Structure 1
């Protein structure tokens, strides 16, 4: 199973907002440059994240985007599900799948798909944006920043 660019880039954008949490709004242009994402594509992703209550916007000259909650309260799963929908390796184990498969009673693979889905969900729901920021700081320190006076 592979995530689309929506999930991957959206998580990068949310990481960038988490990295600057408490510093005020972050301009979309800055997120795009820092994460090497098309600004136009990022606009589409942020719109979905806003609609799902994960990000907010601030208008004006000093405007931009903010996380709608503390990074320790937003999980990777929240972000990926907002952008990708339900995470499942097969249609038959999607949460929104209401139809019963005609082979469900004797399907030998359904339990495998359920275990994979549950494992993925356990992992992405256990990692917060704050965990990502902490990992970044621990592994990179301040190497990624260049300060000019």
Structure 2
């Protein structure tokens, strides 16, 4: 799976801030994470509006996380950066009419979306950093997250 550029860059920036644990300049983030600086500044505005990061102006300013990394999920970042396009897709889908088979396909597609959202919500920036530190066990870690999320959904 490949994320949209905005999501990819946003996740990189948030993971960088989580790993650094301090205020970082847009220049440092852009250079270290290979993100065009002007684009990073646009994305940072959306992330700030969503309450994920804080911006500090001035000579020693920059960006820092507004929450603990364990309280920021991949889904939070995705929603902050993609909400407009998701809303447009929902509206277009709601306007379409179709027969019984079309409605069943829409339900199946909605189920895929719910599963995707649930899993992405279970992946926090903190857990992803832990996962990459334990490179040999990253697949096992993700497998465990899937199992835990499946159990949670069954009990919900």
TM-score normalised by structure 2 residue count: 0.75
Deviation string for 1:90-127 (max 9, x for gaps)?
94xx3x67945321654241122112101110111010
Is there any run of 5+ residues in structure 2 with no aligned partner, and where? 137-156
Pick from 67, 76, 80: which aligns with 1:78? 76
C-alpha RMSD of matched pairs (Å): 2.5
* Matching residue of 2:98: 103
Alignment of 1:7-46 (within 5 A): 7-21=7-21, 24-46=22-44
Aligned residue for 1:26, secondary structure, equals: coil
The alignment covers a number of residue pairs equal to 134
Pair 1:119 & 2:115 matched: yes
Structure 1 runs of 4+ aligned residues shifted over 6 Å read: none
User: Is the contact made by 1:87 and 1:121 (CA closer than 8 Å) also made in structure 2?
Assistant: no
TM-score normalised by structure 1 residue count: 0.78
Structure 2 vs 1, CA of residues 78 and 14 (structure 1 numbering), >3 Å: closer, same or farther?
Answer: same
* Matching residue of 1:69: 67
Is there any run of 5+ residues in structure 1 with no aligned partner, and where? 141-149
